[in-house]
Amino acid sequence: MAIAAQDKRFAGSIPQLYEEHLVPLIFEPYAQDLAARLAARPPKRVLEVACGTGVLTRAMARALPGDSMIVATDLNPPMFEHAAALGTARPVEWREADAMRLPFPDGSFDAVVCQFGVMFFPERAQAFAEARRVLAPAGRLLFNVWDRIEENEFADVVTRALESVFPHDPPRFMARTPHGYHDKEAIARDLAQGGIERPPEIVTLAARSRAVSARGAAIAYCQGTPLRNEIEARDASRLEEATAAAAGAIAARFGRGAVDGKIQAHIVSVDA
């Protein structure tokens, strides 16, 4: 499935809203999970691609031994600049880098890790080939991707709610991109095409997504992700209307106070 240009644009107020609302809503439990998996076999040199605002970077900085080198990269300067400003428990090297063309020599890292970024890569096999290239012998590739949108309740409810706001052209960002790369066979096939011959270990992990209010969850999705770009491309004056519709749909299903919904992702690990 093609990745639309606006799906990869994290700019303006999106990085701050993403960090404030979306990170605690859906990303933190999976960042802790990936960091713990790395710490069980601690690498000396770690490359993170698509680091976003640094939720996994911060978790790795806490979980890995002090002598582990961490290089965190992202293609979107507003995202990793926000991450760098937030800081980490110990020094991390921040770099602008394209996962399709990594600016590192062959065999530079013992692990390449990615938290919910693979879905945004336009050529995933090429990105996996680049990860393989920069991995040392017996290096490890570790990443996670969201399961299908029906297994992620808030994202599904928000997507359906926006159909009432834009009935003739509903925004489909959440289903198309964040939740559009959930097929395990497709993941294994792309890894093989990228030159990673060993079969991956893929574990499906459910967790809970919690927010203090339905509106907080709606802001996370409608204003803290590129879904905002899709809404504003249709009618920028209706962003608040779209957010309110999403909040109303979440409240109708999960209640008017604090809300709690299911999230689910695949954890992919392979020795390259």
- Structural domain spans, the chain: 5-271
- Nearby residues of 183 by Cβ (< 8 Å), 6 or more positions away: none
What does the pLDDT read at residue 206?
Answer: 98
What does the pLDDT read at residue 240?
Answer: 97
What does the pLDDT read at residue 6?
Answer: 47
Alpha helices in the chain (DSSP H): 14-17, 28-40, 55-63, 77-86, 124-134, 153-165, 173-176, 184-193, 214-223, 227-235, 239-254
What does the pLDDT read at residue 14?
Answer: 76
| pLDDT beneath 70, residues of the chain | 1-13
Mapping DSSP to helix (H, G, I), strand (E, B) and coil, where does residue 259 land? Answer: strand
What does the pLDDT read at residue 142?
Answer: 98
What does the pLDDT read at residue 8?
Answer: 43
pLDDT, tens digit, 9 for 90 and up, residues 168-223: 999 999 999 999 999 999 999 999 999 998 999 999 999 999 999 999 999 999 99
- Nearest CA to 23 out of 172, 243, 225 is that of 225
Dihedral of CA 146/148/100/232: which sign?
A: negative
- The topology under which CATH files domain 5-271 is Rossmann fold (3.40.50)
